Amino acid sequence: MVSIARNRRGGMKGCLVTLLLVAGVCYFAVNVAEVALRYYRYMDAMRQNVRFAASRTDESIQKRLAAFADSLGLPSEAHRVKVVRRGRTIAISADYTELVDLPFVKREIDLSPHAEGPF
């Protein structure tokens, strides 16, 4: 039987470097995922308010969404909700900026959740 000797030098270092890279990517991906999750939850709340717009005033919708934005921890810009009714349709929107930590840089991301539909 012939056995092949394998060189195991440096094997642990390569594994450690790979593990560190994966951990770093996951760490920064979590930051971006948190921003995306808050954005989609806020937009979902807007869609829900569009569905029930027939029984709510514009001021009521603005207050509800401002309170929801506060509970999500969104910036104060997100609390300024625009509600526009045209005939039997309604459009709800907001504009805000989130700060995301990326490797060696902090990025500002402009977000504009929007929902519209008939009521």
Residue 68 domain-assigned?
yes
Residue 112 domain-assigned?
yes
The whole model's pTM is what? 0.79
> Distance of CA 57 to CAs 2, 16, 37, 84, Å?
83, 58, 27, 11
Residue 6 domain-assigned?
no
pLDDT of 7 strictly over 60? no
**Which domain does 108 fall in, by range?**
12-118
- pLDDT tens-digit map of 88-114: 999 999 999 999 988 788 999 999 999
Instruction: Kindly state the tokens that stand for 46.
Output: 């807007």
Number of independent structural domains in the chain: 1
Residue 5 domain-assigned?
no
- pLDDT tens-digit map of 18-64: 888 898 888 888 889 999 999 999 999 999 999 999 999 999 999 99
